[in-house]
Amino acid sequence: MDRPIPKIIVPKASPFDPWLWTLAWRDSRRSRRRLFLFMSSIVLGIAALVAINSFGDNLARSIDEQAKELVGADLVVSSGKEFAPDMYRFLRGVGLERSYETAFPSMIFFPKTQDTRLAQVKAVSGKFPYYGTWEAKPANSVKAFREGNQAKKPVAMVDDALLTQFNIRPGDSVKVGNVSFLIVGRSVKIPGETAVTATVAPSVYIPQQFLPETGLLQRGSRATYRIYYLFNKGANVDQFAKSVEPKLDKAGINYDTVSERKRDTGRAFEDLTKFLNLVAFVALLLGCVGVASAVHLYVKEKIAPVAVLRCIGVSGKQAFLIYLIQTTLMGLLGAILGAILGSAVQLLLPEVFADFLPVKVSLAISWISVLQGIGIGLLITIAFALLPLLVIRKVSPLRTLRTSYEEDVTGPDPLQWGIYGLIGLFITGFAYLQTHDWKVALGFTVGLLVAFAILTGLGRLLMVLVRKFFPVSWSYVWRQGLSNLYRPQNQTLILVISIGLGTFLIATLYLTQTLLLGRVQLSASGRQPNMVLFDIQTTQKEGVSQLVQQYKMPIIQNVPVVTMRLAAINGRPVEAIQKDTAAKIPDWALTREYRVTYRDTLIGSEKIDQGKLQKMESPTDTARISIEKGYLQRLKLKIGDKLTFNVQGALIPTIVGSAREVDWNRVQTNFLVVFPNGVLEQAPQFHVLMTRVDSAGHSAAFQRALVTRFPNVSAIDLGLILRTIDEILGKVSFVIRFMALFSIITGLLVLGSSVVISKYQRMQESVLLRTLGASQRQILYINLVEYLLLGLLAAFSGIILSIAGSWALAHFVFETPFTPDVIPLLAVAATVTGITILIGLFNSREVLVRPPLEVLRAEA
C-alpha cells in the first residue's frame, strides 16, 4: 500500500501520429474499393462545382479580353426618340468615326413565299462594328451590303434563322414598308448580340437612306436611335462619357461604354454561374448524404474491431482518428477525381451555354476553381462523415466479451449537434457567398432542410406502415421483399432521400416550365384576343378596322395610345425629386416614357380600388386621371396628388382621381395611367387594335393584306410569341437540366453504392435461402419487389414534393391556377423506378449466378 502508485501514461491522440496513419492504411487494405465507392458519390457534385466555377472564371477572363467586341464600338449613345437638332449637331462632332442606327419593330414581307413576320428593322450607315466581326454568310456579304449602302442600292442583310425559317436565300428580296430590298447575305452574329436576342427579335438590316422611303417611321412610332463611335487609340472614353453624362441625361439619352458593358455582362454571368453553383451544390450535398450513410454502415462493421483495439489500449480518440484519416483520404481522392472530371466537363459547357454567350470563351484549367472545389468538397464530406464516425469514440471495449452489447452511446452526443450546426452554417455560408443575400441563403438552407425532412418522414412512414399493416397472407416472395424495407441495415431512408431529391429537381423543372408556358397558352385560348395590331395612325384607324372586319375577325379592343413623360409631382419637378435621396422614388419611374390611353369606362381586367373614375365636367377642368394601384404605391402617391405630364412639349396638369386594380394576366391593352376623354384627343397618338384569328392560314392571309395596305402597322401574333417563349425556355431549361443531371447521376451512384455495401448481408441471406431450397427466380423476385417499392416510393415522394413546390410557385409568385399534367409526371416516376430496379438487380446479380459456397468464401 505504501508503494508509490505507478504512473499511467495516456498516449496522446494526435492526428500526426505516424502509427495512426500506418494502422489506417493497413486497415483500409481490404476495404479500399468499397471505401472508394462511398466517396464516388461526391465526385459528380465536386465535378459540377469545379466545372461551373472554372467556366465562370474563363468566361470572366474572356469577357475581359474581348470586352471591345461586346459592344463593337468605344461608345454607344441611344435614345427612345429622335435626337434634338442641337444635340444631334453635338453628337456628330464626337469621336473619330460614327455609325448610325435606327431600330424599330415592323412587319416584313417576303414576296417569293408571300410570308410576313414581325422583325426588328435596323436602318444603318457607317462601318459598325469597329471591333470584332459581323459574322455573315456568305463571308463577303457584309462587304457587299456596305458597298450597296454606299452606292444607295436597296440591299439588306437578314437574320440567318429568319431566312431559314421561311426558306428564303440571299438573292431573294424582302419588302420593308414600301421598299423592296435585295437580300445580299445572312446575318449570323453581330457584336453585342446573342442567339437569344436574335430569337426574340430577328434583325433585318437596311441602308439608312431608304428609311424615309419605307414610310414606316411616323410621329409617335416606337424606335430606338443609336450612334456607335470609334475613338482615337488611347482616348479616355470613360472620362469623356462621364463629362457629358449630365447633358445626355437631361435629354433622356443613354450611353454605354466598353468598361460599362464589361461590368454589366460580367455581373450577369456571375449571377448565372452562382445560381448554377447552387444547383451543383445540391448534387454535392446529395453525395454527402450518400457518404454519411455509407460511412454509417462502414462504422457499424468496424465496431467489433474497434472494441478489440480499445481492449488492447487504444484510446477512443485514437480509434476515431484512424477512421477519420481513412475517410479523409478517400474524400480527398474523390475530390481530386471530381476536380479532374470537372475540368474536363468544363469543355462541354460552351456548347451548353452557346445561345447565351456574348463572347468566345477560351478554356484553360482554373486552378483557383480546382482548389476551391477540392476544399469545399473535402470540408463538407468530412463534416457529413463525422456524424457516423463520432460513434467510434464511444465504442465500449466490453463488446469483445459480449457480442450482444447494444448501446454504446448513452443519450445524444452534444458533438453531434455541434456538427449538425456546422453543416447548417456551412451550407448557409456557401449559399450566401453565391447570392450575397442572407434571406435567400437561409431560404435555400431551410428549403433543403424541409425537403430532407419530408423525404425522411416519408421513408420512415413507409417503414412503419409496411410493418404495421404487414400483409401476412401475401405470397412468400412479397412478404420477404417487403420486410427487406424495414429490417436492420435497410437502405430505405437513404434511397428515398437521394432518389427522391433527384426526382424532385427534375419534376420541378418540368412543372415550372409548363407553368410558364401554360400561362401564355391560357391567354391564347378561348375567346381571348390572340393578335395585336399596333402603330396604327389616326388616319389609318378606319381603314384597319374595315380590313379586320373584312377578314371576318372581331375588333375586341381598339384603343388610342399617347406617349408622355412625367414633368412634376405636386409642383415639384422630377429633376428635383431625383436629386432628393430621401424621396425614395425609383429613378425609372420618374424618367420612363408613359404610354397612356384615354376613356371614361373601366375594361374587363380592371377594378376600382380607391376613389372613382371621373369624366371631364368641362373642357377647362383639370383632368382626373386613374393610376394602377401598385404603381400608385411605388410612386408614393395618394388620391388628390397633382401630376404634371409633358406630352410632346406641352405640359398637362392632372389630379390623381382614382386607383385601379389591374389583372395583368389577361391579354388586354392594360395601362398604368388612364386619362378621361376630352383631354388628349388632339395629341400625337397611335392606336392599338386587338383581334382574334383562328387559323394560321387565315392569320397569314390577313397579315399579307395588312402589310400591303398599311406597311407601317405591325401585327403581333400570340402564337409566334408562344413559340418564341417556348424556344427560350427550352434553352434555359436545357442548361438547368444539364446541371440537374449531376444530381440525378449522383442519386444513382448513391443507390449503386448502397446496394453494393449491403451486398454482403444480402448474399449471406440469399445463400441461406438458397440452401433452404429457394429458387434463383424466387430470390430475383424478392429483390425485384424490394427495389420496386423503394423506387416507387422515392419517385412519388419527389413528385409530390415538386407538385407542392410548383403549386407554391404558381400560387405565390405567378398567381395563376396550377393543374399539373399527370401523364408526364407518371412517366418520370416510371423511369426513376425502372432505373432503380435495374441498378438494384444489376448489383445483386452476383448473388444469383454464383454458387452459394463460393460466395461465402469470397466474402469471408
Partner 1 sequence: MSILRVQDLTKTYQSGGRTLTVLDKVNFELQPGDTFSIVGPSGSGKTTLLGLCAGLDRASSGSVYLNDIRLDHLGEDERAAVRNQYVGFIFQNFQLLPTLTALENVMVPLELRGEKGVRRTAQELLDRVGLGQRGHHYPTQLSGGEQQRVSLARAFANRPKILFADEPTGNLDTDTSAKVVDLIFELNREAGTTLVLVTHDLELASRTGRIIRIKGGVVVSDTVTARENVWQGRE
Name the site residues for partner 1 (rule: CB under 8 A): 1, 3, 5-6, 8-11, 19, 22-23, 26-31, 304-305, 307-317, 396-398, 400-403, 860
CB closer to partner 1, 6 vs 571: 6
β-partners of residue 255 are 77
Angle between helices 258-312 and 718-757 (to 10 degrees): 20
Please report how close the Cβ of residue 21 comes to partner 1 at its closest, in angstroms.
11
CB closer to partner 1, 23 vs 673: 23
Please report how close the Cβ of residue 264 comes to partner 1 at its closest, in angstroms.
59
Please report how close the Cβ of residue 311 comes to partner 1 at its closest, in angstroms.
5
C-alpha cell at 58: 474563363
Please report how close the Cβ of residue 760 comes to partner 1 at its closest, in angstroms.
13
Please report how close the Cβ of residue 743 comes to partner 1 at its closest, in angstroms.
34
C-alpha cell at 64: 475581359
Could you count the other beta carbons within 10 Å of the beta carbon of residue 257? 22
Contact call for residues 750 and 794 (beta carbons, < 8 A): no
β-partners of residue 104 are 121
Please report how close the Cβ of residue 262 comes to partner 1 at its closest, in angstroms.
58
Q: CA quadruple 75, 81, 82, 87: dihedral positive or negative?
A: negative
Please report how close the Cβ of residue 393 comes to partner 1 at its closest, in angstroms.
9
Could you count the other beta carbons within 10 Å of the beta carbon of residue 449? 12
Please report how close the Cβ of residue 53 comes to partner 1 at its closest, in angstroms.
38
CB closer to partner 1, 138 vs 313: 313
C-alpha cell at 824: 408526364
Comparing CA positions, the residue from 165, 114, 215, 104 lying closest to residue 702 is: 114
Q: Collect all residues with Cβ–Cβ distance below 8 Å to 344 and sequence separation of at least 6.
A: none
CB closer to partner 1, 302 vs 687: 302
CA distance 374 to 335: 5
Please report how close the Cβ of residue 17 comes to partner 1 at its closest, in angstroms.
9
For 126-238, where are the E strands, in sequence order?
135-137, 155-159, 173-176, 179-189, 203-207, 224-230
CA distance 306 to 542: 93
CA distance 193 to 356: 9
Please report how close the Cβ of residue 415 comes to partner 1 at its closest, in angstroms.
15
Comparing CA positions, the residue from 740, 757, 739 lying closest to residue 39 is: 757
CA distance 501 to 504: 5
CB closer to partner 1, 313 vs 375: 313
Q: CA quadruple 614, 620, 622, 628: dihedral positive or negative?
A: positive
CB closer to partner 1, 19 vs 474: 19
CB closer to partner 1, 308 vs 348: 308
Could you count the other beta carbons within 10 Å of the beta carbon of residue 43? 27
CB closer to partner 1, 200 vs 858: 858
Please report how close the Cβ of residue 35 comes to partner 1 at its closest, in angstroms.
11
Contact call for residues 205 and 181 (beta carbons, < 8 A): no
For 692-775, where are the E strands, in sequence order?
714-717
CB closer to partner 1, 29 vs 439: 29
DSSP 450-479: HHHHHHHHHHHHHHHHHHHT--TTS-HHHH
Please report how close the Cβ of residue 317 comes to partner 1 at its closest, in angstroms.
7
Please report how close the Cβ of residue 328 comes to partner 1 at its closest, in angstroms.
18
CB closer to partner 1, 307 vs 757: 307
CB closer to partner 1, 21 vs 131: 21
Amino acid present at 733: S
Enumerate helices (H) and strands (E) in the chain, giving the number of each.
27, 21
Please report how close the Cβ of residue 23 comes to partner 1 at its closest, in angstroms.
7
Contact call for residues 748 and 839 (beta carbons, < 8 A): yes
CB closer to partner 1, 11 vs 640: 11
CB closer to partner 1, 194 vs 761: 761
Backbone torsions φ then ψ of 110, nearest 5 degrees:
-100, 105
Please report how close the Cβ of residue 14 comes to partner 1 at its closest, in angstroms.
12
Please report how close the Cβ of residue 335 comes to partner 1 at its closest, in angstroms.
24
CB closer to partner 1, 304 vs 838: 304
CA distance 3 to 164: 102
Buried b (16+ CB within 10 A) or exposed e, 139-176: eebbebbbebbeeeebbbbbbbebbeebebebebbbbb
Please report how close the Cβ of residue 282 comes to partner 1 at its closest, in angstroms.
35
CA distance 577 to 588: 12
CB closer to partner 1, 27 vs 765: 27
Q: Using only C-alpha atoms, what is the Rg of the chain? A: 35
Q: Collect all residues with Cβ–Cβ distance below 8 Å to 187 and sequence separation of at least 6.
A: 134, 135, 136, 157, 158, 159, 160, 203, 205
Contact call for residues 515 and 811 (beta carbons, < 8 A): no
Please report how close the Cβ of residue 427 comes to partner 1 at its closest, in angstroms.
34
CB closer to partner 1, 409 vs 461: 409
Contact call for residues 685 and 220 (beta carbons, < 8 A): yes
CB closer to partner 1, 30 vs 468: 30
CB closer to partner 1, 315 vs 591: 315
CA distance 326 to 21: 8
Q: CA quadruple 327, 330, 335, 341: dihedral positive or negative?
A: negative
Our CA dihedral for 44, 50, 51, 56, rounded to 10 degrees, sits at 150
Could you count the other beta carbons within 10 Å of the beta carbon of residue 656? 22
β-partners of residue 155 are 182
